Structure 1
């Protein structure tokens, strides 16, 4: 090897070690940068010179700067980010719902219901006393007032979620555009070369992590370096600067529908903050719809059953009792029909009310499926004279229903909002079961007192108090489950982050060792230059 070849070797070492030192310095400067993946200088032998005597080395070169990461671990982190964000929202919201019910502190609706039936028991011991009759009316009013307060708090929680969702959707769409922009930049920067656009890939991964906190998705890598992001069955981000934004559509019943390219993806969105919000707003078995239904069913049952006994008895004036509470009515909602409408919806048999909510889903002009919202079951039926009768409710339609038309029917929807105590005079309480027993008759008061312990098949074969307790317990179980899930998910995410940091994080100790290593190599290469320069000078002097 000649002196000039030796000089070239030294120069390649100086250049390469300088680049390696730059990579190490960049790692150290980004030790606290979120989402940064440590980069390694990958060194490679230069192509040798070939001659008759054989090949001779030409030094070293920087083959590439490699981003150190584990794709599997990072994919698991994205999945756990989706789950963790969902469980966090569920836990927080269910705790708000549980607090609104206030039963865990012994001051909730359960205590008011118990007090109401105890007041009837007290009335039965002295039915002619006006003071005790006043207590019965006051306790009845307290039930309605407390139920209205709880329902109002449920509505506030529901409204809060509704206000949050548009911002969350906007954030998803903004992140989708960022990811698409990174896709284009990465494809241009890499251009099929071995060297990857490390910093751009880190930024894109950080955007994906933010996206995972909002919504569940899957990704697919493209050979160009771009990725496709799929939500449900549609691409949110496609290859080639393509973004298909999510659009939000509020239904007439308050539920939310999310579309991509005009195609409903709501049922496929189950993770992230938005997945939790959809579950809380839309689910008939959990979330706010179930909480509303449980509360309203309780009040509807009290209203209907108390009125039934009250109207069988006689008041202090010898008159047959009137409704204690404002009676139930049928709530209907046209969810989408433009050719048909409800002209009449009445309760024709109060004793047949089951406190269930239904959807009438038309499959033809007169044919329909009656869908039980809570139990998720359906039965087929045909209109008779444009009417249908179910659970003591008779609903009549005008116009011509078309296949796909949906109407909601509910005997409980307005039970709280329209609820009130109808009696204004304590003498109107029908405590006696016979006009001849007045003023001392207490048969009806005893029947009313026993109502609190009476098992009702329409309330899952439980008493009113037991039924409402099950509603409270169910919400509590949801809150407890979400809390357990959140704790587990948080621990899992923490472990994954630690594992990822051990792979991709910057270790200052390791970088310090690399600095020393590359510094020594740089100094040695510089010494080769000095030696080579000295030898060249000697050679020149000899030639002279």
Structure 2
């Protein structure tokens, strides 16, 4: 054993202390970096010299620089990040929706409904007073406008979520591409077994955690390694890397397979997400993406988008609110028009009906049309009933397929409606039905016209459960068929004096006005998009919609509070293992500084011994 060997021993200690100080400095510098994992220099004794008296140590060697990382705890942190991101985004959007329904403050649609029926009550008391007609139409316009505006606000939010979906999927792809590049760098650095790409692995973990905030995924990083000799909390994974999203390969080592987002398949421009195979074939994964911000967006916006029709989703929380508002508006329109059709008119003509061909089943065309009947009533100039005919509606009934069972066929059939053995005083002798369908515009219109316009006869309809008069709008108070287009009939807006509260056209008859007042207390059928039918009053069903919004918002709020508390707990636990402690690092710094000074003194002592030795020569 020579002095030069001893000098090398001191140098090894000096270098190790220097590296330890550098690593400690690196830890301290990143104390405020939440994504940094503290590192530790791992050393062992160098191979000793085997001598007769015994082994003589040759110093210290650095085995590796390890990061103190617990993969199990980190996986839990990613999961809690995923859940928190989902609930946080959902809560923000549902709180916004809740603001569209300010009914708890005695304003909003519920107040409009009360004002609307109060106006009908005032009108029924004074059906000939012009001021009451104007007041009623104004309140009806306010109700219709606010229903439209609320629906439009939800649809606008839904459109915004759809736009955000595109941005976040693009972000998902950007992160995936970065992780693939980092995987390549990690492979290069760790090509030698003792090398550890600690900072690169931290960067990849940061990107994984960010991705967990966007979407749920599964990742395999090779065989799990536990090194209790370094730290009891240290568990990390190997060099392999495979990340799957919704069961499809997204990252395979340094190879990246982006997901594709496209909105070309439907009229609404709502996006669908696909996995694109190497041959260019696409597999839709919109319904498979779960968790995180993207999962929340899809659950809110809706996942199932039909190519036909309006192109909007058939599911989703926001879409359900839109659909329920449509169901509310449609039942309000149909039932109001059903009653208003009782008011006698010189001529009746329906609203234009898109897609209703003469031989299309009425019940198949619109689910509001029910198996039932309606009576057609003819009044003379003095308001006396002179004819009544019952029109049956069933699953096979069409507008005019040429059969005697169609609406036109039943109406125009020459039968003795009155049962008086007189074939000249029945409904078909005063009025005739016609269905006009335009193949180019694909719209049809049903009309009941007088056989003699100068005779002074009027016609009215009394529904008996079919809903057909209200669905087709034979005599309209409201126009439209959903919350998107509900409005007061333009003829009434232009001339409020046309508003009628009677059934038979005689003074003192306010049957229609009274029926409208009673309507607010009747339980009606609201046909929801999910196939269920809610039997509620008009105000009751609207209250059901608002309670659903409030309940959903409150539920996701509680869920988010729970997820936030869980995240805080796991994050604190994660930081206790991998985070940098200033106190601990300062203690290590003093320890390594002392070791450095001691090794420097060893080298100085050997240097002096060498001087003595050389001086002896």
TM-score range normalised by the length of the shorter chain: 0.7 to 0.9
What residue number does 1:450 align with?
518
Report the alpha carbon displacement of residue 69 of structure 1 after superposing the two structures with TM. Answer: 1.5
What residue number does 1:299 align with?
329
Distance 2:52 2:3 in 1: 19
Distance 1:206 1:98 in 2: 35
Distance 1:457 1:475 in 2: 21
Unaligned runs of 5+ in 2: 224-237, 277-281, 304-313, 371-394, 402-406, 408-436, 440-470, 473-478, 527-532
Q: Does 1:138 align with 2:138?
A: yes
Q: Does 1:256 align with 2:271?
A: yes
Distance 1:131 1:4 in 2: 115
Q: Please say if residues 13 and 60 of structure 1, whose CA atoms lie closer than 8 Å, have aligned partners that are also in contact.
A: yes
Q: Does 1:506 align with 2:580?
A: yes
Report the alpha carbon displacement of residue 433 of structure 1 after superposing the two structures with TM. Answer: 3.6
Q: Does 1:275 align with 2:295?
A: yes
What residue number does 1:194 align with?
194
Q: Alpha carbon RMSD of aligned pairs, Å?
A: 3.1
User: 5 Å matches for 1:368-379?
Assistant: none
Report the alpha carbon displacement of residue 289 of structure 1 after superposing the two structures with TM. Answer: 1.0
Distance 1:99 1:329 in 2: 35
What residue number does 1:236 align with?
250
Match of 2:539 among 465, 482, 485: 465
Distance 2:42 2:369 in 1: 71
User: What do the CA deviations read for 1:192-238 (whole angstroms, capped 9, x no partner)?
Assistant: 51331001001111111221222221111036624222110101111
Q: TM-score, normalised by structure 1?
A: 0.81
Q: Does 1:432 align with 2:502?
A: yes
Report the alpha carbon displacement of residue 160 of structure 1 after superposing the two structures with TM. Answer: 1.4
Q: Please say if residues 304 and 328 of structure 1, whose CA atoms lie closer than 8 Å, have aligned partners that are also in contact.
A: no
What residue number does 1:89 align with?
89
What residue number does 1:312 align with?
342
Report the alpha carbon displacement of residue 88 of structure 1 after superposing the two structures with TM. Answer: 1.9
Distance change >3 Å, CA 272–CA 343, structure 1 → 2: farther
What residue number does 2:565 align with?
491
Report the alpha carbon displacement of residue 451 of structure 1 after superposing the two structures with TM. Answer: 0.9
Give the structure with the larger helix fraction.
1
Q: Over alpha carbons, which structure has the higher Rg?
A: 2
Distance 1:24 1:428 in 2: 88
Report the alpha carbon displacement of residue 18 of structure 1 after superposing the two structures with TM. Answer: 1.0
Distance change >3 Å, CA 57–CA 321, structure 1 → 2: farther
Q: Does 1:482 align with 2:550?
A: no
Distance change >3 Å, CA 328–CA 303, structure 1 → 2: farther
What residue number does 1:377 align with?
none
What residue number does 1:287 align with?
317
Distance change >3 Å, CA 507–CA 144, structure 1 → 2: same
What residue number does 1:153 align with?
153
Worse-matched range after superposition: 279-288 or 224-233: 279-288
Q: Please say if residues 326 and 484 of structure 2, whose CA atoms lie closer than 8 Å, have aligned partners that are also in contact.
A: no
Report the alpha carbon displacement of residue 249 of structure 1 after superposing the two structures with TM. Answer: 2.4
User: What do the CA deviations read for 1:114-167 (whole angstroms, capped 9, x no partner)?
Assistant: 211221122222222222122222122122211221122122212212222222
User: What do the CA deviations read for 1:442-489 (whole angstroms, capped 9, x no partner)?
Assistant: 222121111111112445121111111111111111211222222222
Distance change >3 Å, CA 327–CA 44, structure 1 → 2: farther
Distance change >3 Å, CA 506–CA 343, structure 1 → 2: farther
What residue number does 2:260 align with?
247
What residue number does 1:338 align with?
none
**Secondary structure of the structure 2 residue equivalent to 1:72:** helix
What residue number does 1:418 align with?
485
Distance 1:420 1:350 in 2: 25
Q: Please say if residues 37 and 504 of structure 1, whose CA atoms lie closer than 8 Å, have aligned partners that are also in contact.
A: yes
Report the alpha carbon displacement of residue 414 of structure 1 after superposing the two structures with TM. Answer: 5.0
Worse-matched range after superposition: 133-142 or 1-10: 1-10
Distance change >3 Å, CA 56–CA 351, structure 1 → 2: closer
Q: TM-score, normalised by structure 2?
A: 0.72
What residue number does 2:426 align with?
none
Worse-matched range after superposition: 299-308 or 184-193: 184-193
What residue number does 1:366 align with?
none
Q: Please say if residues 117 and 452 of structure 1, whose CA atoms lie closer than 8 Å, have aligned partners that are also in contact.
A: yes
**Secondary structure of the structure 1 residue equivalent to 2:242:** strand
Report the alpha carbon displacement of residue 293 of structure 1 after superposing the two structures with TM. Answer: 0.3
Q: Does 1:534 align with 2:604?
A: no
Distance change >3 Å, CA 187–CA 441, structure 1 → 2: same
How many residues are matched? 478
Q: Please say if residues 311 and 321 of structure 1, whose CA atoms lie closer than 8 Å, have aligned partners that are also in contact.
A: no
Distance 1:117 1:321 in 2: 27
Distance 1:129 1:448 in 2: 17
Q: Please say if residues 329 and 482 of structure 2, whose CA atoms lie closer than 8 Å, have aligned partners that are also in contact.
A: yes
Distance change >3 Å, CA 203–CA 349, structure 1 → 2: closer
**Secondary structure of the structure 1 residue equivalent to 2:273:** strand
